[in-house]
Structure 1
Amino acid sequence: MSTASQPRPMEAQYQAEFYRGFVHTAGRGGPISTEWSRTKDGRVDFYIPEKKWAIELLIDHFEVNEHISRFKDGGKYHPWLKEKMVKDWIIIDCATSLPTKEFSEPKLWHVVLANDYSKLQLYNHQQALMMSVHLR
């Protein structure tokens, strides 16, 4: 069976796993909001109110530039930055391979999972390996 025919988790599964990992790390009392928004126009996947951090998860490099533009001047999330409702943000692109091109946005990180999900590798926006973790 080729890797292309193997089932891939949907975004909600990645979100659930991120949330589980956050609670495991920060504890049950660690505040985190899912699908957070300050307006009717858009919402981020996660918001950590104590830090005012916004977190977006992407799957398989889908619309990377569009998601980056949401935080830039004129983007739907940019007013939250200007109003200091969001102090910092990150986009985490989850996939089984690196994208074919580099991106210039330093707030974009890539999580590359082995096809059997036994290994996770974390890369920065320039595709430099930052860490590798065995999951099983």
Structure 2
Amino acid sequence: MTKWLWIDASYNKNFRLEEEIASAFDLDPREVARVMCERNILGSTQIADDITLPHVELSHLRYQGIAWIKYDSSFALVLVIDKEKPSRSVVDKLGFILEEEHLKLMRQVNSQQMLEEVLKNAGR
């Protein structure tokens, strides 16, 4: 099953990315923190001046998807994917989002509904 998630973290100074992702995708927050840290050790996840692409790659996931997190002046595009059986839909949507014109559009997303509308048009 896939999930597309929008979170406005700009108002919450105590926001913990790994806890939010774990809760939304039914994962252990310690495991999420561990794999995100391991990925960051490999190199920067920065894809634009104001956007990072943290990865959560685990096996046997019940849910896969993308979370778009809005901070005060930056964003995180979190990829949650099964490393054994990656969702074609998630991979396709990620490819769509990563095009510069679509990153500009993503910066304007301000609700769950708007995120779903943008992603519904992916691949058209």
Q: Shorter-chain TM-score: which interval? A: 0.3 to 0.5
Instruction: Give the TM-score of the pair, scaled to structure 1.
Output: 0.31
Q: Which has the higher helix share?
A: 2
Question: Higher relative contact order at CA 8 Å, sep ≥6: structure 1 or structure 2?
Answer: 2
- If you compute each CA radius of gyration, which structure gives the higher value, 1 or 2? 1
Q: Which has the higher strand share?
A: 1
